[in-house]
A and B are shown apart, each in its own frame.
Chain A
Amino acid sequence: AQSVTQLDSQVPVFEEAPVELRCNYSSSVSVYLFWYVQYPNQGLQLLLKYLSGSTLVKGINGFEAEFNKSQTSFHLRKPSVHISDTAEYFCALSSGTYKYIFGTGTRLKVLA
């Protein structure tokens, strides 16, 4: 069975500090990996995706993520966060079908 684990339900961080949101996955087959962001009262927006190739993936709003097959991880990072990055972040995987498996989400709270 496939699964996605986001261990941190909430991550508080001061403005302009770096942040890492952790995502681990489990799958017996190759997967595509995604990070989505959900701002208050909005739907999910794709931040970045790993399909194949380079393990370092750059997304929108200065975010990047690194695919680590040996550690089955896909952690999201940003070197300097802004107040506007306050949102909920979801990691998800797909094994090439229409089914996405989502994590429970990490609420990023950026403090002034």
Chain B
Amino acid sequence: ETGVTQTPRHLVMGMTNKKSLKCEQHLGHNAMYWYKQSAKKPLELMFVYNFKEQTENNSVPSRFSPECPNSSHLFLHLHTLQPEDSALYLCASSQRSAPGGYNEQFFGPGTRLTVL
């Protein structure tokens, strides 16, 4: 496997279900990100992990719970979601550089989530 992989690629769940999205990066990076992509809206940064520590939580509802057990893996645990949470969830990774430096983000293919 190369780059950033995400599983599953598609997920349909009811509002009472609990599911998890998985992201794995094979690039040796030390920062990982979750984004939400909804139609006609800019990508929304949800969470950022640097060296496995969460450094950003962009006012995301608690029904989304991230987990980063190591610098290569990132999970997004989902529970009691709402239909408006239906979207494409993208994972990305980058090297963590010093402030003012350049961090190219590499994206996975995304998980298309539908909440019924």
Contact = CB atoms under 8 A, between A and B. Distances in A.
Interface of A: 4, 9, 32, 36, 41-46, 49, 51, 90, 94, 96-105
B63 to A, nearest CB: 23
Interface string B44-55: 010010100001
Contacts of B90: 43-44
Given A9-B40, A94-B103, A102-B43, 17 more contacts: A4-B42, A36-B107, A41-B9, A43-B90, A44-B90, A44-B107, A46-B104, A51-B102, A96-B99, A96-B102, A98-B31, A98-B48, A98-B56, A98-B94, A98-B96, A99-B56, A104-B41
Contacts, number: 56
Given A4-B42, A43-B4, A44-B90, A49 B99 contact: no
For the complex of A and B, 3 pairs with smallest distance between CB atoms? A43-B107, A96-B100, A44-B107
A95 to B, nearest CB: 8
B33 A98 contact: yes
Contacts of A97: 99, 103
Given A4-B42, A97-B99, A100-B45, A43 B110 contact: yes
Interface residues of B, number: 31
B101 interface: yes
A103 B42 contact: yes
A18 B99 CA distance: 38
A94 B90 CA distance: 18
A102 B42 contact: yes
Contacts of B110: 42-43
Given A102-B42, A103-B42, A104-B42, A43 B101 contact: no
11 contacts: A43-B90, A46-B106, A49-B104, A90-B43, A96-B102, A97-B103, A98-B48, A98-B50, A99-B56, A100-B105, A105-B42
